[in-house]
Structures are given as structure tokens and as C-alpha cells.
Amino acid sequence: MDKFQDICHQNEQFQCLIYIRINGRDAYLNDDFQFENCMRILPLEQQARILEKRGRTRQIALVSQLLQLMGCCKATRRNIGDLKFSNGKFGKPRLLGRRVPAFSMSNSDGFCAMFLRRNSGDEDDENGIPSEVGLDLASTTDCKSWNDEYLNEFKDIFSVHEFTHLRKTLDAGRGRKLLDRIFTHYWSMKEAYTKFTGTGLNCDLSEIDLGSVSESDYNRNAEFIRTVQIDQRCMVFRSKWINETVVATVCYEMGSDDAGSPGLTMCSLELPEVIIEALNMK
């Protein structure tokens, strides 16, 4: 937590991904009293939306909201009641205020994550809206057995270049693990872009051509970086694998100050510390 706070407070511009591993056996999520205490941290409108969900989905929704509020509070040095949000055309939440970061949320395979980014070009205005960002977590555990029929099910979401790359990897018999990783990486990059635009999957994903990715891109400690021209925007994609199965991809539009921008920092947090911090900021 201290690392995340230092990044936010000591840098004019920063980009940081914070994430929590959600343990379904965690007492905070399964004990009714503790769950209710966590719910009371949230505004009533958010509580109502969470209570509409059931089981594991309800737990993930609660953790996601707690992480979002805690992250925004830490990054702005404000309490929960002082945070101001608006929604974009497609419902994407935005934080409002002077020099506030843009953020995006995602969850997959037991992880919940938040990406925050502030650059020197963001509005220095109390009602300013920061530059957009997108984040997606994707997991290889969602892939099924690889064959021609299974790959063809996804043909419409890939560019010709991307699909050809996947086809060659399949035909070469390079192994399921590599195919799982390439497919999942592509998926996370495309989803991150739809989070950036706020459109979700209501767009033609095949028009987003991300080129080819190679086996050498899957070093656990390496950061994958790619710059792609999409709809007259120069988009930056940055990816890192959280563990052997889950990849996190963030994206944002390249600006004039990106030449000296910091790398992507990742901070793993524990649910109890997020809850305690959120309670202190209520």
C-alpha cells in the first residue's frame, strides 16, 4: 500500500496497476457481519447494485467497488465523500477534479484490478476530465481445446494478420500453452481498447490490428509494449502477466509527454488492508 501511495504522491505523472487476489474463503466475504460492514463503506446506490447479484459475482462486485474508492482516495488524497464522478456516453465512470487520474477496472480468474494514470497534460481544473485509459485482465483458463473448429469460432474478432498468426501457431503444433497465451494476450489487448473507448464489445474487434506476438514476449517479469494506430489515434498497449495464467493489459492514447513517462508499476494488495484504508477514508 505504501508503494502505491508513494507513486501517486511523489510523481507529477504516474501509471500504476493495483490488484487483489480474491479468496472465496475470505472471512470478509463469507461472514455476513463482515460483509455488511464492508457494504456500509459504499454509497447506497452502489450497495443496491451489488445486492442484485448473487454468490461469487456479488463478492467480486463488492471488492471491485472497494478497490475503486480506495484507489481514487489514495491517488487524490480525498475522502470517499469528497470524490466526484461522472459517466461517459456508454456509462464508463470517470473521476472529476483538479489533477485527478484516469482509471479503469477489470476482474478475471480470481483477480480484481484497477489501473490509474495521470499525465502532465491533464486538466488543472476542479471539474476537469482526465485522459481516458483502458484495462483488461484475461485468463488462459477460459480457453478450451484447440482445433480448427474452435479457432474459427473467433475468426470475426481478429484481423487477417492476427488470425493468420494464430493459424500458423496452431498448424505448427507449438503446444496448447503457447496458443492459450497468444489468444489470451490478444483478447486482453482488444478488451482494454474497448474499455478505453467505453463501447465494450459493441464494436468491430477485427478492425483493431495488433500485429503478431511471439513466444519471447511471455517472460513473466517482462513488460510487453506496443504502439498501434487506431482510428487516427496513436495507442499505447502495455501488458504484464500477473501469474502463469492471467495477463493484464492497459492502453491509453500517446501524448506529447509520453517520451519521459514512467513504466507500468504493479502493486499487489491484500483485501484487509484495502478495507481498512477505505474505512479510514469514509
Q: Note whether 98 and 208 are within 8 A (CB).
A: no
Helix (H, G, I), strand (E, B) or coil at 159: coil
Instruction: Using alpha carbons, select from 141, 16, 155 the residue that is nearest to residue 72.
Output: 16
Helix (H) and strand (E) counts for the chain? 9, 10
Q: Which of the four pLDDT bands, split at 50, 70 and 90, describes residue 262?
A: low
| Between 172 and 277, residue with greater pLDDT | 277
Give the rounded distance of the alpha carbon of 61 from its chain centre: 14
pLDDT at position 24, please?
Answer: 63
Per-residue pLDDT reduced to its tens digit, 224-233: 899 999 888 8
What is the rounded average pLDDT of the residues 237-256?
90
Parent domain of 91 = 2-280
The phi, psi pair for 84, rounded to 5°, reads -120, 130
CATH number of the domain enclosing 220: 3.90.470.20
User: CA–CA separation, 64 vs 70, rounded Å?
Assistant: 10
**Sign of the alpha-carbon dihedral angle for 67, 71, 77, 83:** negative
Please give the tally of structural domains in the chain. 1
Bridge partners of 114?
18, 105
Output the pTM of the full model. Answer: 0.90
Q: At 59, which helix (H) or strand (E)? A: helix 55-76
Residue 3: pLDDT above 90? Answer: no
Q: Which of the four pLDDT bands, split at 50, 70 and 90, describes residue 186?
A: very high
What is the rounded average pLDDT of the residues 258-262?
59
pLDDT at position 145, please?
Answer: 77
pLDDT at position 112, please?
Answer: 96
What is the rounded average pLDDT of the residues 150-157?
88
Bridge partners of 241?
247
pLDDT at position 219, please?
Answer: 63
The phi, psi pair for 144, rounded to 5°, reads -110, -170
pLDDT at position 196, please?
Answer: 94
Per-residue pLDDT reduced to its tens digit, 157-183: 999 999 998 888 888 777 788 888 999
**Sign of the alpha-carbon dihedral angle for 145, 151, 157, 163:** positive
What is the rounded average pLDDT of the residues 26-55?
87
Q: State the amino acid at position 7 in one-letter form.
A: I
Q: Which of the four pLDDT bands, split at 50, 70 and 90, describes residue 20?
A: very high
Instruction: Using alpha carbons, select from 237, 244, 153 the residue that is nearest to residue 166.
Output: 153
Per-residue pLDDT reduced to its tens digit, 109-142: 999 999 999 876 555 445 555 678 999 999 999 9
What is the rounded average pLDDT of the residues 187-205?
87
Q: Note whether 189 and 251 are within 8 A (CB).
A: yes
Q: Which of the four pLDDT bands, split at 50, 70 and 90, describes residue 255?
A: confident
Residue 282: pLDDT above 90? Answer: no
What does the DSSP assignment read for 164-209?
A: HHHHHHHHTT--HHHHHHHHHHHHHHHHHHHHHHT-TT-S-GGG--
Task: Tell me the pLDDT of the chain averaged across its residues.
Answer: 85
